[in-house]
């Protein structure tokens, strides 16, 4: 623990020896391509496959009508909504799957796709989520019996009455309307699978880009159990994954079609999306419209918040939230500040856009929540003329007040927000920057400083509150130590680049004293790994990492018994230091863990179970609450309005750190995915539901060139309830960075009367508002 050992998995990745789903080639494997709708909303009048079937190599064109015969044309979403696998009569969004072409090679499949003729009757789509709630809006989900509007759900938390009363009487209230844009995870590897159904064995092996292989196996069994694919007949293998970020949690129609085709023809079927399909059809993230309000005294004591939000889910609620939380963990939106009054109300609507929204590198809508609270906090600072750092210091929850109960029902485990912000301000020379800014403003130059002091909520989660489709959100570890003292450990999670093969080994090494390089980590095969809910929402370390520590401690207890037997002393007479037990006061009388393990197989005490294995399913007692203090400095060109992030200091507190290098890597990557929605990324649709930037030429994923030189650091406030005091870090930077950047840009523009800008804040957007204010030509 605490050592930056090199990542064990990198040996294969940097040599091009990773094994991704598209590397899997099975004998007789067929290839699938998918015909997609050019319209956002249309009746399908006919599908003509005649020309496609003439192309050499094309063997079948599968439509919704074909799947309907097996009752496989619909599937459930993770939010217990329903989604078409293939349509029988209507398409509901552009790029929706319409038919699948099956061919003997990838080229024929694509040529076949071009040759399938679909006759559509376009209808006027509903694109604007606010208009979707109009009384005269057409009802989109006519497949749902008795549905009379486009409303999906309403959810609220907090004390409405007390909050309304506070806002009626408060000295100061501020309010902003915000949109957190619809974005896409755009992982390097797109989604895909090889579905391999063996007719003789009645067994399906599903190689699939999934962050949650075990849950997927259960879902497959639930959807296809009626055709004989019961859970013991299904094996899901998630091979190496080239980035997940939440986009590889859901089940997409392509997976189900591939399974159905393999089931029908008895041959393996490969389906791998291309880049545009991935961007246009797979689950989006965010797309929350938020009205954020804050009430305070005139001195700047925050008294309460009132948030109202509208979630645009597209055609179906295909989010990936814990069942009881349709708006995820958005209720962390009270932030890092000490006040007792809050009310949050959320509604969700259907529109003719692709379904979602997944938690893109974010613990279930925390990014949206943090953006709203950190922006509105800056808005308050601007309103009362107080420095935003000072305002935060005066309102932070104090270190000694943890565990702290939030007005929306959470119990924050630990934190030291003052220390984090002070460290960030010292690192960046906050006072010096404010001085420089004042001088520049006097000269008419635009420079901004933005702060974000966020609290995350990760590690879902305790079984009393957290489940997905009824399955509790524990996670698991199984450790087997071989007679020679080398180990293999398997987990219910699945790394997509997080470095589990290294960090899990480090946790076990810390607890058992076996060197990390002697511990092999495996995940992703449901036949071998223990059941778990997978890797997303920064939950791996808080849940499976904890399971590893607890399982290792079970083994250490067994080791103590064996050591006592071998040394002929009582257990109480033994002391542990990593790697060995020794007799108190006689350190030369010792048994190493390797000697003990060997004895477990060769010379174990009579009556004791032989072997050296342990499994633990860890049900966390609480979530963990990482935090961070980020400060960003921007300079804006007064003519072109180009925005340069000059400096960005990120001080994270993720509790105890397992591998500082991996944490730093996570933070760098996460910050870059934070600058992305802040300044570049948004999926844009026109009023007909056409995507306007459905390729990476126009969907602007930032690169190394756009990334500033990140300056990172940390404070350490261990989680009091996690076995090793860790909290999880993967998502903090993605969550915390966008408001720091937005706050910096708004700060730069505030002398011109600008109080808020929606992200992504582009030079064009800045130019437009400054043009309106008469500042630029």
Binding site for another protein (CB under 8 A): 106-107, 110-111, 114, 274-276, 639-640, 642, 680, 684, 692-693, 695, 697-698, 700-703, 705-706, 762-764, 767-768, 771, 776-777
Least distance CB 669 / another protein (angstroms): 17
- Alpha-carbon distance of 335 to 319, in angstroms, equals 23
- Alpha-carbon distance of 463 to 761, in angstroms, equals 40
Asked if 657 contacts 451 with a C-beta cutoff of 8 angstroms, the reply is no
Least distance CB 767 / another protein (angstroms): 6
Kindly state the tokens that stand for 202.
Answer: 């009645």
How does DSSP assign 118-143, residue by residue? EEEEE------HHHHTSTTSPPS-TT
Asked if 170 contacts 341 with a C-beta cutoff of 8 angstroms, the reply is no
Least distance CB 55 / another protein (angstroms): 10
Asked if 412 contacts 401 with a C-beta cutoff of 8 angstroms, the reply is no
Cβ proximity to another protein, 148 vs 703, nearer residue: 703
Least distance CB 639 / another protein (angstroms): 4
**SS3 state at 481:** strand
Cβ proximity to another protein, 200 vs 697, nearer residue: 697
Per the listing, tokens 């002697």 go with: 518
Least distance CB 642 / another protein (angstroms): 7
- Cβ neighbours of residue 375 under 8 Å, at least 6 residues apart? 176, 178, 292, 739, 742, 743, 746, 756
Torsion of CA 49, 51, 52, 56, to 10 degrees: 140
Helix axes 732-749, 763-772, angle to 10 degrees: 30
Cβ proximity to another protein, 426 vs 698, nearer residue: 698
Least distance CB 325 / another protein (angstroms): 35
The separation between CA 304 and the C-alpha centre of its own chain, rounded to angstroms, equals 28
Kindly state the tokens that stand for 589.
Answer: 């009388």
Cβ proximity to another protein, 56 vs 266, nearer residue: 56
Cβ proximity to another protein, 200 vs 704, nearer residue: 704
Residue 737 CB coordination number (10 Å): 33
Cβ proximity to another protein, 385 vs 774, nearer residue: 774
Least distance CB 657 / another protein (angstroms): 33
Active-site residue set: 211, 361-362, 731
- Alpha-carbon distance of 768 to 761, in angstroms, equals 11
| 774 backbone φψ class: left, alpha, beta (φ>0; ψ -120 to 50) | left
Cβ proximity to another protein, 532 vs 674, nearer residue: 674
Residue 346 CB coordination number (10 Å): 22
How does DSSP assign 554-591, residue by residue? HHHHHHHHHHHHHHTS-GGGEEEETTEEEETTEEEEEE
- Alpha-carbon distance of 252 to 248, in angstroms, equals 9
Cβ proximity to another protein, 720 vs 763, nearer residue: 763
Least distance CB 440 / another protein (angstroms): 20
Residue 134 CB coordination number (10 Å): 12
Cβ proximity to another protein, 243 vs 763, nearer residue: 763
Least distance CB 44 / another protein (angstroms): 22
Q: Where are the strands (E) in 23-171, listed by range?
A: 30-36, 42-48, 58-63, 74-76, 82-84, 90-91, 97-103, 117-122, 151-158
Asked if 454 contacts 736 with a C-beta cutoff of 8 angstroms, the reply is yes
């Amino acid at each position: 623990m605490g050592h930056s050992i090199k990542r064990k998995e990198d040996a294969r990745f940097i040599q091009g020896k990773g094994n991704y789903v598209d590397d899997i080639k099975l004998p007789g494997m067929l290839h699938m391509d998918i015909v997609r709708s050019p319209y956002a909303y249309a009746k399908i009048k006919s599908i003509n496959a005649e020309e496609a079937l003439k192309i050499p190599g094309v063997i079948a064109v599968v439509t919704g009508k074909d799947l309907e015969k097996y009752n496989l044309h619909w599937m459930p979403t993770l939010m217990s909504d329903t989604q078409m696998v293939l349509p029988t009569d209507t398409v509901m969004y552009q790029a929706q799957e319409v038919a699948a072409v099956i061919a003997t090679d990838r080229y024929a499949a694509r040529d076949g796709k071009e040759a399938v003729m679909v006759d559509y009757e376009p209808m006027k789509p509903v694109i604007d989520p606010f208009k979707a709630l109009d009384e005269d809006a057409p009802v989109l989900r006519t497949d749902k019996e008795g549905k009379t509007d486009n409303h999906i759900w309403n959810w609220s938390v907090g004390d409405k009455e007390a909050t309304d009363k506070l806002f009626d009487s408060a000295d100061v209230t501020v309010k902003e309307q915000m949109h957190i844009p619809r974005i896409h995870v755009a992982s390097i590897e797109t989604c895909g699978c090889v579905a391999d159904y063996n007719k003789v064995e009645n067994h399906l092996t599903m190689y699939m880009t999934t962050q949650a292989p075990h849950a997927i196996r259960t879902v497959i069994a639930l959807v296809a159990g009626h055709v004989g694919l019961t859970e013991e007949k299904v094996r899901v293998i998630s091979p190496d994954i080239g980035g997940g970020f939440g986009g590889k949690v859901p089940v997409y129609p392509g997976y189900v079609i591939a399974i159905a085709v393999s089931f029908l023809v008895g041959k393996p079927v490969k389906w791998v999306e291309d880049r545009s399909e991935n961007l246009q059809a797979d689950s989006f993230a965010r797309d929350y419209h938020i009205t954020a309000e804050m009430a305070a005294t005139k001195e700047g004591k925050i008294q309460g918040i009132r948030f109202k939000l509208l979630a645009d889910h597209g055609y179906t609620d295909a989010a990936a939230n814990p069942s009881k939380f349709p708006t995820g963990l958005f209720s962390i939106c009270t932030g890092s500040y000490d006040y007792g009054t809050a009310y949050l109300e959320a509604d969700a609507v259907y529109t003719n856009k692709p379904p979602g929204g997944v938690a893109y590198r974010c613990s279930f809508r925390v990014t949206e929540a943090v953006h709203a609270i950190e922006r509105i906090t800056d808005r308050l600072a601007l309103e009362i003329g107080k420095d935003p750092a000072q305002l935060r210091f005066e309102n932070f929850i104090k270190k000694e007040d943890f565990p702290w109960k939030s007005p929306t029902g959470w119990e924050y485990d630990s934190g030291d927000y003052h220390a984090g912000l002070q460290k960030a301000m010292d690192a960046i020379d906050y006072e010096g920057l404010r001085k420089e800014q004042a001088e520049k403003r006097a000269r008419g130059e635009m420079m901004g400083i933005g702060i974000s002091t966020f609290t995350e909520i990760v590690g879902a989660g305790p079984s009393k509150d957290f489940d997905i489709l009824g399955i509790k959100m524990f996670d698991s570890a199984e450790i087997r130590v071989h007679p020679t003292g080398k180990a293999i450990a398997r987990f219910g999670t699945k790394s997509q680049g997080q470095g589990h093969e290294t960090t899990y080994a480090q946790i076990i090494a810390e607890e058992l004293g076996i060197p990390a390089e002697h511990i092999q980590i495996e995940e992703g095969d449901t036949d071998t790994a223990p059941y778990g809910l997978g890797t997303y929402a920064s939950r791996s370390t808080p849940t499976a990492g904890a399971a590893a520590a607890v399982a290792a401690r079970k083994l250490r207890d067994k080791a103590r018994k064996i050591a006592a037997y071998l040394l002929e002393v009582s257990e109480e007479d033994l002391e542990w230091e990593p790697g060995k037990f020794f007799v108190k006061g006689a350190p030369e009388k010792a048994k190493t863990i390797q000697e003990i393990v060997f004895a477990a197989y060769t010379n174990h005490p009579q009556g004791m179970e032989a072997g050296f294995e342990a499994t633990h399913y860890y049900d966390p007692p609480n979530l963990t609450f990482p935090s961070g203090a980020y400060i960003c400095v921007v300079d804006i060109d007064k003519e072109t309005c180009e925005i340069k992030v000059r400096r960005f200091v990120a001080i994270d507190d993720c509790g105890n750190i397992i591998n500082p290098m991996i944490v730093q890597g996570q933070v760098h990557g996460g910050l870059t995915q934070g600058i992305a929605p802040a300044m570049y990324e948004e999926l844009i649709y026109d009023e007909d539901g056409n995507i306007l930037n459905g390729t990476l030429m126009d969907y602007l994923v930032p690169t190394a060139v756009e990334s500033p030189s990140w300056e990172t650091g940390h404070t350490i406030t261990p989680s009091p309830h996690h076995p090793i005091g860790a909290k999880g870090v993967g998502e903090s930077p993605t969550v915390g960075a966008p408001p720091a950047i937005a706050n910096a840009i708004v700060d730069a523009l505030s002398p011109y009367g600008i109080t808020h800008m929606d992200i992504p804040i582009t030079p064009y957007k800045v130019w437009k508002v400054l043009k309106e204010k008469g500042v630029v030509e």
